[in-house]
């Protein structure tokens, strides 16, 4: 198998919602050349302040101050898909599985994983994960159409369109056509290229 190319975000300006946190030194892709961020001593997050697998109790209405959510959005928009998943996982684990916030976060985690599968060239993996992720977002939107500042109906529509080539067993490109996650202005948001 040839060496995996790096993932590079498109040249676009998107808001940063947690600009006080720096991006990792590389984008991790499972099976790629870079060391595992948490398990390998050379990893970009090895021995960083340990993250609890479950975030402290949190309320969706406080999303503007929820740094793990905001930084996860920044990571996702900058094509740090694995790292975005890690940022959101503790938040997801702190909520009941059938709650709208848990479903939304799990859906976004699966969409991030689908984007990694696209990078890896796995049509089957990208198809399954994108379908499951969109299903979770749809279930969350049925309960709460806007959650953590994210318009779920618009997000579902954008990603349904983006993932459409998978229905013809074709991989969509990892470029500016990947929809960014856009939130209403958060207090610390700053416009800038990731």
Question: Taking the domains of the chain in order of start, what are their residue ranges?
Answer: 68-192
Residue 4 burial (C-beta neighbours within 10 Å; 0-12, 13-18, 19+): middle
Most confident of 22-31, 48-57, 157-166: 157-166
Could you tell me the pTM of the whole model?
Answer: 0.86
Whether the predicted pLDDT of 119 surpasses 80: yes
* CATH superfamily for domain 68-192: TTHA0068-like (1.10.3450.10)
C-beta separation of 30 from 37 below 8 A: no
pLDDT of residue 108: 98
pLDDT of residue 188: 52
What's the alpha-carbon Rg for the chain, to the nearest Å? 16
């Amino acid at each position: 198998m040839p060496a995996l190319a790096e993932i590079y975000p498109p040249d676009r300006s998107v808001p940063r919602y947690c600009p006080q946190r720096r991006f990792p030194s590389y984008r991790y892709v499972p099976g790629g050349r870079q060391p595992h961020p948490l398990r390998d001593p050379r990893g970009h997050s090895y021995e960083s302040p340990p993250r609890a697998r479950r975030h402290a109790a949190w309320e969706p209405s406080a999303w503007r101050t929820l740094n793990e959510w905001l930084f996860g959005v920044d990571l996702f928009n900058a094509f740090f898909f694995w790292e975005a998943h890690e940022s959101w996982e503790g938040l997801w684990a702190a909520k009941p599985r059938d709650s709208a916030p848990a479903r939304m976060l799990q859906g976004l985690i699966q969409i991030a994983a689908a984007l990694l599968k696209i990078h890896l060239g796995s049509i089957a993996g990208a198809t399954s994960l994108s379908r499951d992720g969109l299903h979770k977002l749809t279930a969350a939107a049925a309960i709460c159409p806007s959650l953590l500042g994210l318009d779920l109906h618009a997000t579902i529509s954008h990603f349904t369109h983006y993932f459409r080539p998978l229905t013809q067993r074709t991989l969509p490109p990892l470029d500016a056509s990947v929809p960014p996650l856009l939130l209403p202005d958060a207090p610390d948001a700053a416009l800038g290229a990731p």
